[in-house]
Amino acid sequence: MLRIVVLVSGGGTNLQAIIDSISNGKITNTKLCGVISNKKDAYALLRAEKAGVPGVSVSKKDYASGEQFHEALLAAIDSFSPDLVVLAGFLVILPKQLVEKYEGRIINIHPSLIPSFCGDGFYGLHVHEAVLARGVKVTGATVHFVDSGTDTGSILLQKAVSVQPGDTPEVLQRRVMEEAEWNILPAAIDGIANGRFKKDANGNYYMEEK
Ligand code: GAR
């Protein structure tokens, strides 16, 4: 059984996709042990509560220094003894000690096709604003392992989504979530839980079919 903890900052629609996928069997061999939010009022915490999953908030505001906040965040994660840490809209740069301790055991969902529209400043709606400003016709989402850089870790899964004439950032964000994020994040967790990720000759990951 893969023990996962999900880190969130906001609405938690990706968290909901994980909860639903565990209950409908799209994700197997996985236990959602806890949800951690850096925002006390995140709607994601209510989603966790409704699903009967322990939720914890670790807010920077409650600590005298960034270092203390980072220690508390790491302690909260450790308290669930997870095999995998899932960043699902967690808009905090991870402390170095966390990335090092959980190396190869942290994944993130990013709302673009990495390496486009990623890195510093590219998060949430800003990604979709940049996509529309540049005029690309295809965007999407990426699930990747987290390393010490921003959005630089090995790619696990990606899914393309069309940009449509007249899209606003909000409309595009919703389409990317519905068509890509809510599918590939649960699929990646299921793939990890069931040992289906392999490496190709270039050292890149691919997922074996079920
Ligand atoms: C999602 O679109 C996720 O891809 C994005 O934040 C949103 C969270 O929505 N994450 C990033 O931009 C990370 N760089 P949610 O709270 O409804 O899942």
Token digits of residue 163: 């940009």
Q: Which residues line ligand 1 (CB under 6 A)?
A: 8, 10-14, 44, 88-89, 109-111, 123-124, 127, 177, 181
Give the closest residue (by CA) to ligand 1 atom 11: 123
Read off the CATH number of the domain in which 45 is found: 3.40.50.170
User: Is 110 tagged catalytic?
Assistant: yes
Distance 12 CA to ligand 1 centre (A): 8
Indicate whether 210 pLDDT > 90.
no
Query: What contacts 56, CB < 8 A, 6 or more positions away?
Result: 34, 35, 36, 37, 76, 79
Which residue blocks in 24-168 are alpha helix, DSSP H? 43-50, 66-79, 96-101, 125-134
Catalytic residue among 70, 110, 128, 144: 110
- Residue to mutate, 38, 123, 143, ligand 1, most ligand atoms under 8 Å from C-beta: 123
Which of 58, 130, 45 shows the shortest CA–CA distance to 94? 58
Which of 107, 116, 119, 102 shows the shortest CA–CA distance to 189? 107
**134-168: per-residue pLDDT in tens?**
999 999 999 999 999 999 999 999 999 999 999 99
Domain count, the chain: 1
Res 17: pLDDT = 98
**60-110: per-residue pLDDT in tens?**
999 999 999 999 999 999 999 999 999 999 999 999 999 999 999 999 999
Q: How many residues does the chain have?
A: 210
Q: Which atom of ligand 1 is nearest to the CA of 8?
A: 16
- Domain of 189 in residue numbering reads as 2-207
Give the closest residue (by CA) to ligand 1 atom 8: 89
Distance 27 CA to ligand 1 centre (A): 20
**189-200: per-residue pLDDT in tens?**
999 999 999 999
CB 172 within 8 A of CB 139: yes
Give the closest residue (by CA) to ligand 1 atom 3: 89
**100-124: per-residue pLDDT in tens?**
999 999 999 999 999 999 999 999 9
CB 197 within 8 A of CB 155: no
